[in-house]
Amino acid sequence: MEKAKDVGESSFVTLWHRALVWRAVFVGASILTLASLMSLAAYVGKEQTVTQHAAGTATREILPPQETSQRAAATDVAFNLPQPDGAAASINQSTTASTVNEDEEVLATCHPHLLRAPPSMPQIDIAAMPQPNLGHLKMHLWVNGAGVVTRETILAATLGTPAEQQAEAAYIKELTFALPNTKECRTREVEVVGDFFEQRDPRGRWATYVRLYPRLSFNSAGALVRTD
C-alpha cells in the first residue's frame, strides 16, 4: 500500500508539473498568436492606407492634359486680373463729370438767336389726325460758331409722314443763327431743339409751327438746365 501510494503521489506530482508546463506553453502560444494577429492587422491596415493614397494620386495624375492646363490657365487668369483702384476710378469719374459740366456751362452761355429762316415752312397734312395738337416732331440740331446748322437728328416723331419729316429737316438746315461773339462760342457747336407742332392760326385753321430753344440754358436761379 505504501508503495502504491508513493507511486500514485509520484504520478500526480508528475502530471501536475506536466500540466503546469502545458499551461505555460499554451499561454505563451496564445500570447504569441494574439501578437501575430495584431501585427498582421496593423500591417494590412497600413497597406490599405498606402493603396488608397496611391489610388488617389493615380486619379489626380490621369486627368486629361487639356483639363489640367485649363485649370492652371483659369487659376493664372484669376490671379493675374488687374485689381481696379477704387480711389483712382472715383477720381477719374469725378474729373470727367466735372469737365463735362464745365463744358455744358460754357455752351449754356452761347445762347443762339434765330437770325434768318426760309420765307415759308412746309405744312404737315393733319387731315387723318383726330387730335393734331397732340402730335410733335422734335429735332436736335447743332449750330457752329458761324450760326450755320451743321447736322440734325430726329428725336421723336408723332407728327407727319416720313416725307413730311424730311421736308421739315430740310427747312431746319436753312436756318441761320446769331451767337455771342466770344472765343468759347465761336469754337464750339451749340445744340438747339426744334419742336414742330400744330396750332390753329388766327382764322381758326390748323397750321404747322416750330419752337426753337437751346438744349442747355440757365434758369432764373442760375442753375444749368437741360431741355429736350
pLDDT tens for 67-94 read 434 333 333 333 333 344 444 444 445 4
Residue 54 lies in a domain: yes
Residue 96 lies in a domain: no
Q: What share of the chain has pLDDT > 90, as a percent? A: 53
Same domain? For 112 and 71 the reply is no
Residue 86 lies in a domain: no
Same domain? For 217 and 111 the reply is yes
Residue 92 lies in a domain: no
Q: Which residues pair with 210 in a beta bridge?
A: 196
Same domain? For 112 and 222 the reply is yes
End position of a domain, from candidates 31, 55, 75: 75
Give CA–CA dist 106/187, Å, rounded. Answer: 11
Buried/exposed code over 68-95 (b: 16+ C-beta within 10 A; e: otherwise) = eeeeeeeeeeeeeeeeeeeeeeeeeeee
Give per-residue pLDDT as tens, 193-214: 999 999 999 999 999 999 999 9
pLDDT tier at 101, thresholds 50, 70, 90: confident
Same domain? For 111 and 198 the reply is yes
Give CA–CA dist 155/174, Å, rounded. Answer: 19
CA 45, 47, 52, 56 dihedral sign is positive
Same domain? For 133 and 173 the reply is yes
- Report how far Cα 176 is from the mean position of its chain's Cα atoms: 45
What is the number of other CB atoms lying within 10 angstroms of the CB of residue 96? 10
Residue with more model confidence, 113 or 28: 113
pLDDT tier at 124, thresholds 50, 70, 90: very high
Residue 93 lies in a domain: no
Residue 91 lies in a domain: no
Q: Which residues contact 155 (CB under 8 A, 6 or more apart)?
A: 138, 139, 140, 228
What is the number of other CB atoms lying within 10 angstroms of the CB of residue 104? 14
- Number of domains comprising the chain: 2
Residue 81 lies in a domain: no
Quick one: pLDDT at residue 80? 35
Which alpha helices (H) appear in 62-200, and where do they start and end?
65-80, 86-109, 162-173, 183-186
Same domain? For 13 and 110 the reply is no
Say whether pTM exceeds 0.85.
no
Q: Which domain holds residue 18?
A: 2-75
Q: Check if the beta carbon of residue 168 is closer than 8 Å to that of residue 162.
A: no
Same domain? For 67 and 112 the reply is no
Same domain? For 9 and 52 the reply is yes
Same domain? For 148 and 206 the reply is yes
* Mean pLDDT calculated for residue range 15-44: 53
Same domain? For 198 and 112 the reply is yes
Give per-residue pLDDT as tens, 137-190: 999 999 999 999 999 999 999 999 999 999 999 999 999 999 999 999 999 999
pLDDT tier at 119, thresholds 50, 70, 90: very high
Residue 180's φ and ψ, nearest 5 degrees, are -55, 140
Same domain? For 218 and 109 the reply is yes
Give CA–CA dist 156/137, Å, rounded. Answer: 6
Q: Which triple of cell numbers denotes residue 10?
A: 509520484
Residue 83 lies in a domain: no
Same domain? For 112 and 214 the reply is yes
